[in-house]
Structures are given as C-alpha cells and as structure tokens.
Amino acid sequence: MDFTKTQAMLLLLCGITLPFATAGRSFTVDYKNDCFLKDGEPFRYISGSIHYNRVPRVYWKDRLLKMYMAGLNAIQTYIPWNFHEPAPGLYDFKGDRDLVSFLQLCQDLGLLVILRPGPYICGEWDMGGLPSWLLKNKDIVLRSSDPDYIRAVDKWMGKVLPMIKPFLYQNGGPIITVQVENEYGSYFACDYNYLRHLAKLFRSHLGEQVVLFTTDGAGKSFLKCGALEDVYATVDFGPGGNVTAAFEAQRYAEPHGPLVNSEFYTGWLDHWGKPHSVIRTAVVVKSLNEILEMGANVNLYMFIGGTNFAYWNGANTPYFPQPTSYDYDALLTEAGDLTEKYFAVRDVIKMYKKIPDGILPPSTPKFAYGTVEMKKLRTVAESLDILSFSGPVKSLYPLTFDELNQAFGFMLYRTTLPVDCPRPTPLSSPLNGVHDRAYVTIDGVAAGILERDKAISINVTGRAGSSLDVLVENMGRVNFGKHINDFKGLVSNLTLGADTLTNWVVYSLSIDEAVRDGLIWEAGAHQDNDATPSLTPPPAALSQPAFYGGSFQIPDGIPDLPQDTYIHFPNWRKGQVWINGFNLGRFWPSRGPQVTLFVPAHVLSTNSVNNITILELEAAPSPPLPCVVEFTDTPIINATIRPMVPYTRERPNLL
Ligand SMILES: *[C@@H]1O[C@H](CO)[C@@H](O)[C@H](O)[C@H]1NC(C)=O
Ligand SMILES: *[C@@H]1O[C@H](CO)[C@@H](O)[C@H](O)[C@H]1NC(C)=O
Ligand SMILES: *[C@@H]1O[C@H](CO)[C@@H](O)[C@H](O)[C@H]1NC(C)=O
Ligand SMILES: *[C@@H]1O[C@H](CO)[C@@H](O)[C@H](O)[C@H]1NC(C)=O
Ligand SMILES: *[C@@H]1O[C@H](CO)[C@@H](O)[C@H](O)[C@H]1NC(C)=O
C-alpha cells in the first residue's frame, strides 16, 4: 500500500472520503508487450475461483487464506443476481450475501479480485444466476436486447455496480478486471447489441478506466459471438489438451495482449445419476505448468467449489440436475480441506513465483456425532394449512410456480379422478411438462413418480372422484444452453387415459418458512393414513411425501465443539434436509453419486438441542431397518451409480 498518512490527511482536509488509497494505482492491458500492467509494471495473475455464495461466510477467511498461501495473487468470483434480488426491487446483501465484506476481506488478505457480475453466470447455479421472476414475461428472450430483460438488467447493475466501484483497483480496491456476460459465444442469440449495451452500462457505472473482458470456449466458433470490440477477449479450457492450440484461439480474437485462461478446470461438475467427476492431479499439474511457462495468466476453476445449499443447484439438458455438493474435485474439498492436488499445484506455482511465508491453515476438524433417531411428524398432505400461507388457487388447468410467484421448492396440485380406473391406466404428461419431478398419490396412497425427460407416464388405478395429489419438486433450473427459460411445476397438462385432467386446486408451499418457524414440529398432526384402502395395493416401496424430525445434543466435555460434520441417510431415498431451520440441500442417496451432505459447524448449537427436519419424498426407512440419520466425519460424494429402476415397481433398498 502506497497510501501515506499525509495523503490521508490531505484527503480529509479536502473533505474527500475515499475508502482506499488511489494515488498512482492503475491496471491496464499492454498490447505492445502482451501482458497486463499493474501500476505501470508488467503483471501476471495466478488466480483461483471461489464463489462466496457457496461458502458460509464464517469460512470465507479460512478458504481465502488457503488460496493466498498456495501462492495465488488473485481470486475470481461470480455475482449471482438471483442470490441478491429474490423479488424485483428487493435486495439482499446481508450475512452470506454480504458481497462488500467479501471484497473487503480479499483486500485485507492481499488478494486481487477478478469479478464476474454476469448478469448471466452459468456456474451450475440455478438459471445461471438469472432471477426466475424474469419469466413473468413468458416470451422473454433472456441474454438478449429484449427490452424487458434489459430493463431488469439495467436496474440490477445500477444497484450492484456502484457498490463495487470503490473496490476497483484504480480506486484503491482489489478488483483488477470485470467480466461482461459469460461464455456468450456458446449461446444461440448472438446479439452483439446486447453485449455492447452491457459494456457501455458497465463503463457508465465503473468508469472508462476499468478493464472489461469476456470469456469463451477456446475455439473460433465461440469467440465469433462471444468477443466484442474494446472488451478484452479471454478463453477457458481444461487440462490435458494442447495449451498452445487453445491460446491460438484467443489470438484469433486478440492478436496482442496477455494470454488469459479464465477457467482452467481443476475438476469437473457432477449430475445426479452420473458418476462423480475426477480429474487426475498429474494432468492438472502438467497443463498448469505449460500455461505458466508461456507467461500466461490463469484462473483455476474451481480452487474451492463449496456447496449448493438449499435449492441453488442448476441443471443441464436433457434434464440432469447437479447435486448439492459442488466439490468439483477441486484443490480444496467442499469442506475446505487441503488435498494432494492443492500441494501439487502449489509446487508448480512455486517454480514461477515466491510462495508466502507463514502458517497454512489446517483442514477443519470433522466430528462424528453418531446416529439420530428420526420420527415421522406429518405428511405433506396433512400439513397444507401450515405450508400454504396464502391458501390454494383454483384453476381449470395447472398453473406454474412462476404464475404463483414461487421461485423454489415444491407445489402441490390436487384434483380428482374423472373416471373409474379399475385397471392400470396411464397418468401421463404427454408434453413432458413435469418440471421436474412429481410424487403422485391417490386417496392418500403413493402411486408413483413422474420425472422430466425420464418417466412421462405411470399406471394408476382408482375410482371416479378419488383424490389425486401431485407434489411437484423444482429440482433446479437449467443453467446452460438455450433452455434456460425453465418454468417450473406442471408446465403442461396431465392426462389420465384419454382425459385431460382439469379443475385443479394448486397450493404454493412455503416449506422453508414453516420449518424455520417450527410449525412442522408442532405435536398432534400425524395420523397414519398411509393404509387407506384402494383398488390395488400401492407400490410397496413408495409412501406419501412426509416430514420427519429428530434431535441431538452436542456432547459435553469435548473441546472445540461444534465441528463440521457430514449427514448420512442410510436407507432413505430422496428429499430435503434442514438443521435448525438451515436448508442444507437435497439428498438422493438412492441415485447418487452424492451420499452424504456437508454440515458446517455454524448451523449447530451447543446451547440447545439441534433439530433435524427431513422431507422424504419417496420412502423413509421402515422396520426392520432403523429410521435414523448418521453424522459421520467422512464425506461420500462418489458412490457407484445404480441403474434407474421404474418408480412404480417395488425396488430393493439400495443402501
Ligand atoms: C499443439 O498445437 C500447436 C499449434 O496448433 C502445434 O504446432 C503442435 O504441434 C501441437 N502439439 C501437439 C503435441 O499436438
Ligand atoms: C402401463 O400398463 C400397460 C398395460 O399393462 C403397459 O403396457 C405399460 O408398459 C405400463 N406402463 C408403465 C409406465 O408401467
Ligand atoms: C391444457 O389444455 C388446454 C385445452 O387443450 C389448453 O387450453 C391449455 O393451454 C393447456 N394448459 C397447459 C398448462 O398446457
Ligand atoms: C430445537 O427445538 C426445540 C423445541 O422446539 C427448541 O427448544 C430448540 O431451541 C431448538 N433448537 C435450536 C438450535 O433451534
Ligand atoms: C471415493 O473416494 C474415496 C476418497 O477419495 C476413495 O477412497 C474411494 O475409493 C472412492 N470410491 C469410489 C467408488 O470411487
């Protein structure tokens, strides 16, 4: 810092208040010498991605310090719009969303920041960071010059960019470069006017000095629609390929200037139902060495992946949602633990720059709290009075989440069977309009599961007038490609045999609020009506979606508790889990590859009992299996994937 007391005094005397020293600070592109210039000196960054939205705030410092100690001089993060503007004009920058504190922390630790404010971020994040309320205009063309989209973008950027402006390098802060959009060349719209509008908007808020850049796949075809005049074009590519050839793609768009790989993949993402991704350390190390040898700038994506808590995961098409863990096989695990890959990469960096002296923070200890007995509290159907604050809406045809202003979670659709179905009759979504998974019960008995792109029809039986409940789960919005306008709920009609089902009663459900307020735990709700007679016995392996509760105490007399832990779901199938009202995310051990969920210590209490609430959608363990969850000190995110079994037939217990 070249900020002297005298300068501070001068600023004070002149009545100018700037948060940081600015004298002589500049960050620019040197086209003549193919490098960045920081304060006029050649500069190369070695950076790593951390998404503050995927790491609890209490751990920001620990993770950033570990990045700093690996020899990084910069970090890269996205700003997910939907994380900060849950409803139009309603902003949230508190707690885990305190962007300004995150930037300040980077500054305090001596890390520069490469900022990617979107508005679209991809990032395996719900809808690529775009708020789902944009879909109120059903025909909106996202990531284009569509006036409705631009209006919302302008307003959001008008809020967030002024917040980050004081943190620009030239203003005394850590932010050296700012990305415009994200991999726009991979999107069908190819709307240069939109990119131009963003660049102008960013400059109008951040000043003409700011170094703006774009990032695209390392291929001419991507750079064609992704690069823009006066915005520095960079590329992204993973290890194992031809580094020289990859940078040649960047040279197609930027004949001169620094070489930059904005996303060098240290690992890869996962999907439910597909094997866990692993990228070998040796491959990462070899390509990283080649990149650094060329004098290029690099950002390791991810350095730490973290967690998609609550409902924040995205999805790819054909529909495959990403799991709760965003471990990414990165250099630090989801829980921030040091890995063999961390040390190997640090050894490579060491060959090119000095690694800071000082103590490397150790991996945080984990504690196995053991098993906790879980008791059935009530079914979802029994809980509608406490879950549906606004009461149901009647509609001839199904309404979407978006039409009822519900962004995440679950909605219940209720109607009656129009005809007798003594023999198995197809209950179908002919247009594949279940977004994304529907748990069907008839007269209170589980009848099967419909799933987007996987199971568009099940056979059911029942009588005319039987009650039909369809609980629909939003499993995460598509975050990449042309299907990001991802409406949720029943987005088209359901049919029973030849009949279109009509006269729905639709319940928007506020499950998180009900869990937080302890409503689900209130006694006396549950009456076991799973045994209601029907024409044919229900599929033995499914039961009604229901809430389960259990409590545990942090043991006395052991120092330094609570510590982080992992929750394991032996013989549970699929659902959502909260501890003390904190939504840890989705579990789906029956599909994998993720089996345990990360539980950060700060959600646990030593002062009172800790309350676990589970919404199990398919079937909880039933006798003789114990109905328990277990806290362990070891994560499992790489279980073997089992073949998918049709949901209406009995399935063995998979764990
Ligand atoms: C990598 O690509 C460069 C440039 O296209 C080429 O000259 C070189 O032969 C390639 N190396 C290998 C090992 O294929
Ligand atoms: C429904 O039943 C019909 C007739 O028994 C059968 O052909 C079909 O495969 C069944 N569909 C499903 C999804 O089980
Ligand atoms: C359901 O079908 C009706 C009649 O064909 C149609 O008007 C309506 O748009 C459909 N609704 C949905 C959500 O697809
Ligand atoms: C768990 O629930 C009990 C009973 O409602 C309550 O007294 C306790 O404070 C809760 N624990 C936490 C950590 O919120
Ligand atoms: C899962 O990962 C652990 C820890 O890295 C490893 O020991 C184990 O062999 C892996 N299991 C599978 C099925 O790949």
Q: How far apart are CA 244 and CA 294, in angstroms?
A: 9
Angle at 234 between CA 229 and CA 239, to 5 degrees: 160
Q: How far apart are CA 564 and CA 40, in angstroms?
A: 45
What is the average pLDDT across 293-301?
Answer: 98
What is the average pLDDT across 196-201?
Answer: 98
What is the average pLDDT across 191-217?
Answer: 98
Amino acid at 151: R
Q: What is the DSSP letter of 140?
A: -
Q: What is the DSSP letter of 325?
A: B
Q: What was the pLDDT predicted at 365?
A: 96
- 432-438-439-441 Cα dihedral, nearest 10 degrees: -60
Q: Which of 20-34, 247-261, 277-291, 349-363 has the lowest mean pLDDT?
A: 20-34
| Residue 440, helix vs strand vs coil | strand
Tens digit of each residue's pLDDT (9 = 90 or more) over 453-498:
999 999 999 999 999 999 999 999 999 999 999 999 999 999 999 9
Match 């307003």 to its residue by tokens: 155
Task: Report which of 335, 315, 273, 269 is spatially closest to residue 597, judged by C-alpha positions.
Answer: 335
- Contact predicate 261/294, CB 8 Å: no
Phi, psi of 193 (to 5 degrees): -60, -35
* Residue 208 is among the residues annotated as catalytic for this protein: no
Q: What was the pLDDT predicted at 522?
A: 81
Closest ligand to residue 459's CA: 2
Q: How far apart are CA 228 and CA 503, in angstroms?
A: 51
Judged against a pLDDT cut of 90, whether residue 150 lies above it is answered with yes
- Spacing, Cα 331 to ligand 1 middle (Å): 28
Question: Is the Cα torsion angle 280, 285, 291, 297 positive or negative in sign?
Answer: positive
| Non-local CB neighbours of 17 within 8 Å, separated by 6+ positions | 11
Q: Where does the pLDDT of residue 297 fall: very low under 50, low under 70, confident under 90, or very high at 90 and above? A: very high
Q: What was the pLDDT predicted at 650?
A: 33
Q: Where does the pLDDT of residue 643 fall: very low under 50, low under 70, confident under 90, or very high at 90 and above? A: low
- Spacing, Cα 281 to ligand 5 middle (Å): 15
| Non-local CB neighbours of 60 within 8 Å, separated by 6+ positions | 52, 102, 105
Count Cβ neighbours within 10 Å for each residue of 49-66 and write b for 16 or more, e otherwise. Answer: bbbbbbbbbebbebbbbb
**Could you give the maximum distance between any two Cα atoms of the chain, in Å?**
89
Q: Which of 13-17, 229-233, 265-269, 588-592 has the lowest mean pLDDT?
A: 13-17
Q: Give percent of the chain above pLDDT 70.
A: 92
- Contact predicate 195/225, CB 8 Å: no
Say what the pTM is: 0.93
* Residue 181 is among the residues annotated as catalytic for this protein: no
Amino acid at 325: S
Amino acid at 139: D
Closest ligand to residue 552's CA: 4
Q: What was the pLDDT predicted at 533?
A: 38
- Spacing, Cα 242 to ligand 1 middle (Å): 6
Please report the DSSP string for 23-51 in residue order: TT--EEEETTTTEEEETTEEE--EEEEE-
Judged against a pLDDT cut of 70, whether residue 555 lies above it is answered with yes
Q: What was the pLDDT predicted at 21?
A: 67
Q: Where does the pLDDT of residue 644 fall: very low under 50, low under 70, confident under 90, or very high at 90 and above? A: low
Judged against a pLDDT cut of 50, whether residue 86 lies above it is answered with yes
Judged against a pLDDT cut of 90, whether residue 15 lies above it is answered with no
Q: What was the pLDDT predicted at 526?
A: 54
Q: What was the pLDDT predicted at 12?
A: 43
More confident residue, 607 or 540: 607
Q: What was the pLDDT predicted at 23?
A: 76
Which of 341, 638, 640, 655 should be mutated for ligand 5, with most atoms under 8 A from CB? 638
Q: What average pLDDT does the chain have? A: 93
Tens digit of each residue's pLDDT (9 = 90 or more) over 490-543:
999 999 999 999 999 999 999 999 999 999 988 555 555 444 434 444 345 899
- Quick count: other Cβ atoms within 10 Å of Cβ 396? 9
Judged against a pLDDT cut of 80, whether residue 406 lies above it is answered with yes
What is the average pLDDT across 33-45?
Answer: 98
Which ligand 2 atom sits nearest the alpha carbon of residue 455?
Answer: 13
294 CB under 6 A from ligand 1?
A: no
Active-site residue, selected from the candidate residues 85, 183, 451, 473: 183
